[in-house]
Structure 1
């Protein structure tokens, strides 16, 4: 008899809690035509319920941990070392001949940094990518080379005015056949100011095989972008242009479930790949809904552009009833991606702590971040993937790497500069995380470009989880 009472009480509790959640979180979605849709299932109950599939962690624990470290992470990302990211805007799209629809909105544009506005320690940063190759080189030779490089960078800026003066003189007074080739007048030495030349001779096997690295693969030069001044936000880049990018990713470059099947039908490695991509997609969508263009700028009317959270757009993107009940799963994949990148930061802790940040505050904050990541109890476990040597050396692992590398190539096809910057940064960050997870710690080496992308990408998904709480209210 007591068991019957317990069962009745349990059923009553389930009904009461479920009803409370629906009543508390139900929301009315109003559309542009004036119609509305009362959604009783738009609460976050599906996200909050239970632990993540194939993980030993719940979304609640992840959110609690993220709340503790987010402010510290933001401070790190405002440091000079992390705020400047290199992008090559001139790489051709390898997937289709025509340039993907160019964004005509001024919101798509970014301001590139003139080389004299980038801190010297960022421009002249020297990666230790050659460390093992140079161990057999006598210390004296290494010191001489360092001295020559330092003097080269020290005196090269002083030569720039002379180059411009010579060009002006030759163009005005010398016959055409003696005139020098015209340089870039905005920047007489573009390779010096825009390319991280310290990567140029690095062995290919030491460079990230999961994604392309613009400074390493660039032949025409990269621009520095100040990520703080060019924040990620809604630009108006949408429709067929943006859809073409995601269609290519999910259609050809992702282990997506086939029609009539679900993610659960994929093997663990394929599910992991899909969840990472879906988590990235969801995170970007949350960013855009958080910094949505609520009012267009109109200088003639004296009306400024207004940016802010668009809860209606968020509901359209993730509401269960409007997404075939997939929206909550897409949001869960953000938490999955968070675990992947957090684990990478913890595993690469020694490499991150060995970087010269030229700022004691940033160094100590990175140390706190690494320590927190290391002490997190519910880590993503990369050892569950590709367990056997056959898998690690076989076709599936090669396909895993190649597919993600192709996605990084796809970022060159974006017709929106701001989207390209943040797309490249986040994809490079995930690629770096995967490199860290599948590289023996003793063999791991990272370039500044990879470190910047890794920590900024983690910052992006961390911000997404914080914004999720704002949309919850």
Structure 2
């Protein structure tokens, strides 16, 4: 690409979807604005999470002690009464015969990730607007170990040569390198099926989105100033077009899941005690849903079909569940928080698309189908992806203004 041109402008159909890049681009700014308003509403900005659960895979001693890694919790008395532990303790999640319980978390057979136990003493409410995803400086062996586990232990048995070297592994909260686990061509050469490609694209897209945020909300440690770091974005994301592609793919996937959830959300109790905010939340959610119906064109019926469909789905679920558990090994509280939210958000979308039919999504038949935390994670994750696309647009403008000048800029394109 000529250095004087703007960032790679993707066009044409988005693989494995029924949507194209132009359609997503046309809706990005409106969607970003409306989701930005929605996630500031009381129902969507309070998230209950356990940030103290021990890493189940190894003894984690790489805790980040920097102030930027810290999370500010809130007093439970400040959240609506019917959300509190006393009310949650009356919900008999353990009565589900398909629930598999572990210390502080559990999953049901239909879940694609482990869910935090809301009744756990270590679970706490977080105001997400006070703890935004941003650069924290968390890096080193601890961060490398987390991503190495994701790449090497959760890739459907891919050979070593297809995985990144240790020094290429991204660092959480610092210079995350959203390495695409497999390019489309290589996957097809090795005979990988569509389901595996979808899995790789989801993981790569999550990393690409996180990287975009961290490059945009970047702390220059030499000056102490925060701001967009164009070179960081060029190196980590833009110089690898497939990484940008995965952000679009994940956005369409989440929009489709939100569309399928429409009747359930329409009947869901979103009361927070602030009637004006609750009314605005409903209106904004309807507005977002209108866009989701137009843009979220993904046919989930095309996956997990054929002779080994159920076996592949179970492998897919088990693999993604492991990723959700690995997030408990992140030594930076803020990075762990947003890692858990986005893993849960994508996992919720996968459950909606591949495990729940219209009968199950009937709010009258299944009023307690999803935890509030799953809905909050889904919407906040969608906001993360659309914000990544918004930030990509801002980086394009910065690139155009710079006209490709400066050290390292020629690497874009």
For 1:118, the equivalent position in structure 2 comes to: 79
Structure 1 unaligned segments of length 5 or more: list them: 1-20, 26-42, 125-190, 298-304, 321-326
Give the direction of change, closer, same or farther, for the CA distance of 1:426–1:246 in structure 2 (3 Å limit): same
Q: Please, which of 254, 259, 262 is the counterpart of residue 349 of structure 1?
A: 262
Q: Is 1:105 the counterpart of 2:37 in the alignment?
A: no
1:87 to 49, 56, 61: 49
* CA–CA separation in structure 2 for the residues paired with 1:100 and 1:318: 30
Distance 1:337 1:256, change over 3 A: farther
Contact 1:353 1:366 survives alignment (8 Å): no
1:443 deviates by 1.1
Aligned length: 349
Per the TM alignment, residue 204 of structure 1 is displaced from its structure 2 partner at its CA by 5.2
One of 277, 289, 294 as aligned partner of 2:203:
277
What TM-score comes out, normalization by structure 1 length?
A: 0.69
Select 2:154's aligned residue among 253, 256, 259: 253
SS in structure 2 opposite 1:307? strand
Q: Which structure would you say has the larger RCO, counting Cα contacts within 8 Å and 6 or more residues apart?
A: 2
Question: Residue 115 and residue 309 in structure 1: after superposition, are their counterparts in 2 closer, same or farther (change >3 A)?
Answer: same
Distance 1:458 1:256, change over 3 A: farther
Larger radius of gyration: 1
Residue 22 of structure 2: aligned partner: 60
Q: CA RMSD in A?
A: 2.3
Note if 1:22 corresponds to 2:2: yes
Structure 1 Cα separation of the partners of residues 3 and 213 of structure 2: 27
CA distance in 2, matches of 1:84, 1:105: 24
2: CA distance, partners of 1:455 / 1:66:
15
Contact 1:250 1:256 in 2 (8 A): no
Shift of 1:353: 1.4
Query: Does the 8 A contact of 1:66 with 1:462 survive in 2?
Result: yes
> Any idea what the Cα deviations from partners look like across 1:312-360, whole Å, max 9, x if unmatched?
111221353xxxxxx1101111111111111000011111111222311
**C-alpha separation in 2, matches of 1:426 and 1:465:** 16
**Deviation (angstroms), 1:442:** 1.3
Query: What is the aligned partner in structure 2 of residue 391 from structure 1?
Result: 308
1:220: how far off? 3.4
Residues 392-412 of structure 1, C-alpha deviations (whole Å, 9 max, x = no match): 43x211110000001001111
- Aligned-residue offset at 1:234: 0.5
Once the two structures are superposed, the pairs formed by residues 311-330 of structure 1 within 5 Å of their partners are 311-320=230-239, 327-330=240-243
- Counterpart among 274, 289, 292 of residue 373 in structure 1: 292
Give the TM-score taking structure 2 as reference length: 0.79
Q: Which residue of the partner structure matches residue 442 of structure 1?
A: 359
Partner of 1:469: 393
In 2, the alpha carbon distance for the partners of 1:330 and 1:197 equals: 44
The one-character-per-residue Cα deviations of 1:165-212 (angstroms, maximum 9, x if unpaired) are xxxxxxxxxxxxxxxxxxxxxxxxxx549x665354451548452111
Deviations 1:360-384 (A, max 9, x none): 11011112222321233x6121111
